[in-house]
Amino acid sequence: MSQFKVTVDCPVSESFRVQQVAGMFDVPLDDRSSETFSVELPDQGEPWEIGLVVGPSGSGKSTIAREAFGADLYEPAAWPADCAVIEGFDERLPVRRVIELMTAVGFSSPPSWLKPHAVLSGGERFRCDLARALSRGSLDEGKPLVAFDEFTSVVDRDVAKVCSAAIAKGIRSGRIPCRFVAVTCHYDVADWLAPDWVLDMATGQLQRRRLRRRPWRRPEVRLEIHRCPLAAWRLFARHHYLTGSLAPQARCYLATWEGKPVAFAATLPVIAQRGRRRFTRIVTLPDYQGMGIGMRFVAAVAQLHRDEGLRINVTSSHPALIGHCRNSPLWRTVGVNRSNRRRSRTAFKAYRSAAGRAVVSFEYVGEERSAISTQPSATG
């Protein structure tokens, strides 16, 4: 356990206007305004992965964070003005690792990866900043410490919860190789971030949490699944990396969380293979990526097809989807195609080489009927 004591002094200028305000509200004027913060934090050598410093504005969170974490406190830097966000990472970081980091913080939208930082939504910009802060774990030896001030302060509270769960999942799984300290005024992220310790600056008390109550379970996310018309695709189309069009014969499904649309999926019949369908579109809105909502939703939709006696496949080159299906007992690999040949640019003017990219097909095999709900909802 380490003790930190910080005294903050700032001079007070006794201008005419300052004296007026002091007189109006009976505020005493001293030569200096001074405040001392004294807290305890876990030692660096102790076995923890995630920490949380929380408290109301003005409680000394940032002051303590600068004193305790020093150079490990992430300092935001400007993003390239006219370049894709994937260009804003250290050049030593392979593009595959950049994609892994983006996905780990819940930013899994390839079209948005190719946009400048300035045109992204507030939630997307926040996740990009997080991914860049956490990239230190991919560049430094061991599991470096990353402290992030104003955590979730610029996003709405649903995005804050989703992003907190995504980071917790990434760090606990080892996909984000670092220790993380969130510094924030928002108490609502605690259950979703599942920190090992919490320093509440309102009381000055340090509480150890997760170490006492393993295994951790995040708050429940209950999805409602609906058959929906083709028109629902319009809300999701721009977030998909393929063309925005969708075949009129597609069977469409919508997932909602607390009444809000969060994910969309559509299936089509496989030509010349009676009784078989395939997923043609799967999109989770950016604000809700990172918690596993998408693939839980896809599995539920696939189960609905199996209940009708249909077989259903999903084919993708997205690393996150491939990794999930390979590790899930609900899916079996039925085909792998790896492109090793550069196509002619005269035939495909907009083509960008995908040499070495794996495109993998999986069939949904399901699980015992007693192990999966048949109701039109799922917990993700």
Q: Assess contact for 313 and 363: CB atoms under 8 A.
A: yes
Does the pLDDT of residue 298 top 90, yes or no? yes
Integer Cα distance of 288 and 87 in angstroms: 24
What does the alpha-carbon distance between residue 123 and residue 292 come to, in Å, rounded to a whole number?
18
Closest C-alpha to 106, from 134, 138, 76 = 134
CA-to-CA distance for 26 and 314, rounded, in angstroms?
Answer: 70
Q: For 36-45, 74-83, 235-244, 290-299, which range has the lowest pLDDT when averaged over its residues?
A: 235-244
CATH number of the domain located at residue range(s) 2-212 in this protein = 3.40.50.300
Tokens of 58: 């003005």
Query: pTM for the full model?
Result: 0.75
Instruction: State the pLDDT at residue 345.
Output: 42
Q: Quick one: 103 exposed, middle or buried, by C-beta within 10 A (0-12, 13-18, 19+)?
A: buried
Provide the edge-to-edge strand list for the sheet that holds 222-228. 331-338, 358-364, 311-316, 276-284, 260-269, 251-257, 222-228, 377-379
Token pair 């939630």 in the structure block, residue: 123
Confidence check: pLDDT of 309 > 50: yes
pLDDT number for residue 210: 57
Interval 198-243: pLDDT, tens: 999 999 999 987 554 455 567 888 999 999 999 999 999 988 877 6
Residue 111 structure tokens: 């079209």
Q: Where are the domains of the chain?
A: 2-212, 222-379
**Nearest to 104, CA basis, from 47, 168, 148:** 168
Give the residue-averaged pLDDT of 24-53. Answer: 83
CA atoms within 13 A on the CB side of 319: 17
- 161-181 mean pLDDT: 90
Query: What pLDDT is attached to residue 243?
Result: 67
Q: Cα separation of 57 and 52, whole Å?
A: 15
Omega within 30 of 0 (cis) for the link into 215: yes
In CATH, what number does 222-379 get?
Answer: 3.40.630.30
